[in-house]
Structure 1
Amino acid sequence: MPDNYEETSVADLPLWADPEANEVLRQVCSKHKVPVDVITELVALQRERQHQERAAGINARFEEILGGME
């Protein structure tokens, strides 16, 4: 995910749109050694799939995203 969140599907959310909230997100991620990009991808994936009754294959995608932390 790019640092320029206007290009992502999370750009309208306060954690990315509000500079102060985004700084808090970055601090918490840093404290817990979780890349902001990982959180961004997980939230974007959830938003993409929220309208589906069954999110087939979502667990595999979660594993793929979280695998990027290693």
Structure 2
Amino acid sequence: MTIPSIRKIAGAVMISGAMVALAACGTNVEQRAATGAIAGAVVAGPAGAVVGGAAGTAVSKATDD
């Protein structure tokens, strides 16, 4: 692996971690899903919004149970 490819992988990991952390913001399912969707949309566009919303919902379900 070259240094630029390692940097790209590290950047993607950090962005993914930030997206999951932002998906955990909020006090209920709707807020967490919305925060995750916004974070996902900023990072990866419409597909990221879907993934972020799903991550926010999953985090909410996991923490509420």
Report the TM-score range of the alignment, normalised by the length of the smaller protein.
Answer: 0.3 to 0.5
In terms of fraction of residues, the more helix-rich structure is 2
TM-score (norm 2): 0.35
